[in-house]
Amino acid sequence: MDYIKTYESWLGDKRLNAEAKKELSELKGNNEDIEYRFGAELAFGTAGMRGIIGYGTNMMNVYTVKRATQGLSQFILKQGAEAVSRGVVISYDTRLKSDEFARAAAEVLAANGITAYLFDDVHPVPMLSFAVRNLNTYAGIMVTASHNPKQYNGYKVYGADGAQMSPEDTAVVVEYIKGITDYLGTPAPTEEQIKKYIKPVPAKVDKQYYKELTKLTISKKAIKKYGKDLKLVYTPVHGSGYIPVTTILKKIGINATVVEEQTKKDTSFSTVEVPNPEFKETLSMGIALADKIGATVVFGTDPDSDRLGVAVKNKEGEFEALSGNQVGILLLDYILTRLKEENALPANAAVVKSFVTTGMAKAICNKFGVELFEVPVGFKFIGEKIKLWEKDHSHTYVFGFEESCGYLRGTHARDKDAVVASMLCAEMVCYYTSVGKTVYQRLQEIYAEYGYVLDCNISVPFKGLHAMDDMNKVVDSLKVNPATSFDIYKVTTVRDYSKNIKTDVETGKTSEIGSPLTNCVYYELENGSFICVRPSGTEPKLKIYFSVKANNKQSAETALEKMQAAAKQLLGV
């Protein structure tokens, strides 16, 4: 039982801080907990690290953060003097220990002679991404676990382009991290190094971020006429979106009523079960306030403000929480409509979405003559498209989105931006108010025009030390005996993203998908619907995505029920 030896070595190490010593001492005799904490190392993948806060090699704590940062430091040092001098910018959200972890990362960088620009208060993911580009740093670090429950924290690394670090560079960093076996032995900076290498992020960075966002407004007349009297409710859900969202709305002239109780930096997120705004329950306080003031739209951002959740009042006068796919098609339709009306839609305009995101995007893009590109799950792949088109000028990026409530308009950032999405959401309400509609009414018009599509996903949780391996085995099993139907819905094509190959079920003919490799199986169904299965990259959950095309909502719901039952039977979950 090597994990017992590792546990005892930590507990007996004089370098262990008092908090860790107390926490680990209380575990004596609890082999199950000790095995979870010390039986593995917290994985560092293409999305960085994410785990439960606590001490141990498989947990999020100051030692795993320092070890990861030492690996990143060695990577940067290897790139040469210019990379070292450009340095790293660091941000963090409102989660427990986020500020402590951010400071620890800065000190490790300083100990290696690498400049660390550290925000003096919480800042969201998009502002970190912007700061990397604005300050021309070589990398960025964001301390967050996004929308995970309060017990979690995480650590994301960004490349020089402002997108999450590429899989290739991440693989190199991971090798450096693996080479560090002494968790408690990362270098500590001298006072001189702290003064020399740890610098505050200049205040001008925030100002320039807001300036870039104001350039993206399209419906200026509607904002001017209706913005100041708008009945719109916003909640930051105790996260880092409070200041930036309210600031940008004020700058463009839109009034929003804020859920005051949820503006506090509460590390326990005590007013919600989970700080995930895609759930109606998370927006419940906002909905109650909206009912009180007569608002028809409620929106909220998650702790690191990269995801936007929206609820709208339906024709019965009740609030419905929209899915990420529904918000995505509303924003896509709005942006393309308004750009065309303003004669500002580029001839080579392009939209990017993840391949698990709604198929309705294709129909909308076709109407406007805009090319749609599909990429694997992970906003960094959308960022890669932006980077490519800036070099070859083959396309002009207009909008990108993922079904997981992530949206980006503009190229100021290279990750999901719930600040700009909040601005667009508020602007969209102004525009539809100006033409005598609600957002809900426009959504129904979209369905009437393009046909009804019901998109949803379910998550199957896995537990234990080997949860990630177990999830991948389930996906791998689908490649051995591929399904040919789901209930009455025949499979036409099977995409195996782990091999970059798609297979025509009827002919057996194969061809390349043309996508980065990822462990995912995707079934194209005969009526244009799809089912996709993949392991989550951030949580121990198997994700199953469904996109159902039908004549109406009732037919779609009936079809979805059959498809879900068939999928669960196939997977044995």
Global pTM?
A: 0.93
219 lies in the same domain as 326: yes
551 lies in the same domain as 441: no
Given 168, 183, 202, the domain boundary residue is 202
CATH number of the domain residue 135 falls in: 3.40.120.10
25 lies in the same domain as 96: no
3 lies in the same domain as 115: no
Write the single-letter amino acid at 499: K
Given 431, 450, 469, the domain boundary residue is 450
Rounded Cα–Cα distance for residues 286 and 438 (Å): 18
77 lies in the same domain as 105: yes
269 lies in the same domain as 399: yes
Q: At what angle do helices 360-368 and 324-341 cross, to 10 degrees?
A: 0
DSSP 8-class letter at 150: T
Rounded Cα–Cα distance for residues 396 and 350 (Å): 6
Q: Is 374 exposed, middle or buried (0-12, 13-18, 19+ CB in 10 A)?
A: middle
Q: How far is CA 553 from CA 197, 447, 558, in A?
A: 58, 9, 9
- Given a contact cutoff of 8 angstroms between Cβ atoms, the answer to whether 135 and 118 are in contact is no
220 lies in the same domain as 156: no
459 lies in the same domain as 315: no
Q: Which 3 state secondary structure label does DSSP give 234?
A: strand
How remote is the C-alpha of 262 from its chain's centroid?
Answer: 21
Number of structural domains the chain divides into = 4
433 lies in the same domain as 539: no
Strand partners, 155: 49, 143
Given 157, 176, 202, the domain boundary residue is 202
485 lies in the same domain as 381: no
Could you list the residue range(s) of the whole structural domain that residue 28 is in?
Answer: 1-39
CB neighbours (10 Å) of residue 116?
26
Write the single-letter amino acid at 223: I
75 lies in the same domain as 3: no
CATH number of the domain residue 561 falls in: 3.30.310.50
Whether residue 434 lies in the annotated active site: no
46 lies in the same domain as 168: yes
Selecting among 91, 129, 146, 547, the annotated active-site residue is: 146
Rg, C-alpha atoms of the chain? 24
Over its length of 573 residues, how does the chain's per-residue pLDDT go in tens digits? 599 999 999 999 999 999 999 999 999 989 999 999 999 999 988 779 999 999 999 999 999 999 999 999 999 999 999 999 999 999 999 999 999 999 999 999 999 999 999 999 999 999 999 999 999 999 999 999 999 999 999 999 999 999 999 989 999 999 999 999 999 999 999 999 999 999 999 999 999 999 999 999 999 999 999 999 999 999 999 999 999 999 999 999 999 999 999 999 999 999 999 999 999 999 999 999 999 999 999 999 999 999 999 999 999 999 999 999 999 999 999 999 999 999 999 999 999 999 999 989 999 999 999 999 999 888 999 999 999 999 999 999 999 999 999 999 999 999 999 999 999 999 999 999 999 999 999 999 999 999 899 998 888 888 877 888 888 898 998 888 778 898 888 999 999 999 999 999 989 999 999 888 889 999 999 888 999 999 887 778 899 999 998 888 899 999 899 989 998 888 877
